[in-house]
Amino acid sequence: MAEIGREEAKKRIEELRKLIHYHNYLYYVLDAPEISDAEYDALVRELRRLEELYPEFITPDSPTQRVGGQPAEGFAEVRHPKPMLSLQDAFNDEEMWAWFRRISKLLPEGVKPEDLEFTVEPKIDGLTVVLTYENGVYVKGATRGDGFVGEDVTANLKTIKAVPLRIPVVPDGEPPKRIVVRGEAYMPISAFEEFNRRQAELGQRTFANPRNAAAGSIRQLDPSITAQRPLSIFTYAIVELEGGKPIRTQWEALEYLKSLGFPVNPENRLAKSFEEVLALSKELMKKRDALDYEVDGVVVKINDLAVQEALGVVGNAPRGAIAYKFPGREATTKLLDIIINVGRTGSLNPVAILEPVHVGGVIVKQAALHNEEDIHRKDIRIGDTVIVRRAGEVIPQVVGPVKELRTGQERIFYMPKNCPVCGEPVVKPENEVDYYCVNAACPAQLVRRIEYWASKGAMDIEGLGEKVAELLVKEGLVKDVADLYYLKPQQLLRLEGFAEKKVSNLLKAIEASKQRPFWRVLTGLGIRYVGEIVAQTLAKHYLSIDRLMAATEEELMQIEGIGPRIAKSVVDFFSRPRHREIIEKLRRAGVRLAEEEVVKVEEGPKPLAGLTFVITGTLSVPREEFAALIERYGGKVADAVTRKTNYLIVGEAPGATKYNRARELGIPMITEADVRRMIEEGVK
């Protein structure tokens, strides 16, 4: 790093502090990081370097002088018996040797550097927790918080099966009178992948990586949600011990924790020399891809606890330990092209086609690019040399371009104006970043649309699942959902696996679906933002498909629970000639497209009566649909947070205005799941 002048350094130090404070808040308080760990580490390293050059600018509130972020709202505070310090980082052997030379000069009298032993422990990428036991019984669990005060998550940690509720092993006959243990809660990679898959199937929020999943799970206000998450834990330090075995070294501490029955990482190693520390670190780095948990480095500690204590603390980190961070799972390669995949719901998803490159132990040829807005924000261009990362994510990500290597031949990417599969015009809804193909007959979406049409929440056609839908589309028998009602026995009998009985049962189920209520037809059409509740609301006000097709956006928005987004989506859907053709085919087939009576939304308990909610962030369903659910059970949904607001429902990526206003007024913040639980408990 080039030397800079005093005034320039002062200005940059102030900028870095603001940036780091902001990203600490996102990471530790909101669990919504915007930058990678490597990018964050670079900011901290730059700040530490400048403060070393200009120590007169160090202030008590600098990120280098404190432990971490503030405890989040919604949990009681827990003051730790000792500060939960963080660690200084090293990124290569040279920096590790520099640390060793520094501590060698500060060792207590009589202690020689060559006599030092060290523990080498995997640095688990999870959430730090502190467990307290009294007379062998688990009494409290807390997050690290700001290092001095954490959040009380006792009930949440109790749901993790790896956390002993009572110390299971007592080698000396009696458990310690009091023991406070520090550990790392995490989600195994295999469990994370399965958990994310289930979340996606249910239309619930998925997580970027196991660390975020673990942190988000432990910091749930409802412990029953945490109980459903596949979490585990490793313990690695004794913070306080009363009445137990005397502990002289870190290795003894690990062995004692293991002897008491606490989960301790089996990859921990004892090094007899500093050269062995580096060798063991490299061994673990080679095998990290085979581990079922994320490891982003090793923690190296002087084994002798008395020597650790004598070395003291500098800033916010103990001198006697250091984190040797592994290189990020990144590589650079050429971005050859950007193609478009059309999702099953019509979303147009840009995909990077890459020159094959090894990243994180696999060969990567494609990577995700999110959306056009993100591509332009990062200034990624076709032909760029790009950085590709595979660190916890199942799908590799393009981090950004290496602009210094540009030749001038690179091309700016723009989303196509027409669907690359069916050729129909694509749309970009207002205030959204994604583009969509809204052609109900688009081949890329057809299998999913048929499967959805036949689902229990729509037309409930037994025997028509994903495999059958795929076969019908593949054989060219079905080009839209209406074609289902024109299938002939002889067509189906020619298909593999279709005998007479199976054909008969399927055709009977299709025939029976013609008499499903009108609102089920509306659900099955797959109109964006129109789920079961909105479909019932529309059917209640428009007794036939013809009346609904004639409705304007203004008329639709007069209906309670129908906002501008739903109204526009409905009008856009029925304005397309292809969709009207499908409606006419359904009409000719005898599918019920009208109701003789107004659809009655089920009457019953109103557990949300008298409560006013405000929603911020993205939910698992369209906001208008969730608002309709709240109103169905007696609640009211307002646009702005006021003193009359009872709850703020916080989704993913919440808006700062509503969030800060709710904090200012002391309005309780809850999740979508909390609301559903309130409804379920009230209905019961």
Calpha distance 635→319 (Å, rounded): 56
Q: Provide the residue count of the chain.
A: 684
**Pairing status of strand 127-134 against strand 137-143:** antiparallel
Secondary structure of residue 333 in the 3-state scheme:
strand
Measure Cα distances from 665 to 72, 630, 644, 661, 669 in Å.
16, 22, 10, 6, 11
For the chain, the 3-state helix, strand and coil shares in percent, each to the nearest 5, are: 40, 20, 40
Residues 6+ apart with CB under 8 A from 540: 598, 599, 600, 601
Q: Which residues contact 138 (CB under 8 A, 6 or more apart)?
A: 131, 132, 158, 163, 164, 165, 166
82 is catalytic: no
Query: Beta partners for 357?
Result: 364
Angstrom CA distances, 339 to 352, 407, 413, 437, 680, stand at 7, 22, 10, 15, 44
Which residue of the set 10, 18, 123, 502 is catalytic? 123
Helix, strand or coil, per DSSP, at residue 660: helix
* Strand ranges (E), 525-657: 612-616, 636-638, 647-650
423 vs 53, 319, 420, CA distance in Å? 60, 64, 6
**321-325 and 89-90 strand pairing:** parallel
Q: Which two tokens stand for residue 400?
A: 């950004």
Count CB atoms within 10 A of the CB of residue 586: 22
Question: What is the maximum span of the chain, computed from C-alpha positions, in angstroms?
Answer: 96
User: Alpha-carbon distance 183 to 171, whole Å?
Assistant: 21
3-state secondary structure of 399: strand
CA 176 remoteness from chain centre: 38
Beta-carbon contacts of residue 130 (< 8 Å; ≥ 6 apart): 78, 80, 84, 141, 142, 143, 144, 150, 180, 181, 182, 183, 239
Q: Provide the sign of the torsion angle of the four alpha carbons 625, 208, 291, 126, taken in this order.
A: negative
> Which tokens sit at 106?
């500060």
Q: Which long-range contacts (CB under 8 A, 24 or more apart) does 422-426 make?
A: 424/578, 426/348
Provide the 3-class DSSP secondary structure of residue 102: helix
All residues at 6 or more sequence positions from 481 whose CB lies less than 8 Å from its CB, including other chains: 440, 449, 450, 453, 524, 525, 582, 586
- Backbone angles phi and psi of 9, in degrees to 5: -65, -40
Q: Which residue has the tokens 């950085």?
A: 387
Kindly tell me the number of DSSP H helices and DSSP E strands found in the chain. 24, 26
The pair of three-digit structure tokens given for residue 683, joined into one six-digit string: 């209905």
366 forms beta bridges with: 353
Would you call 500 helix, strand, or coil by DSSP?
helix
Catalytically annotated residues: 123
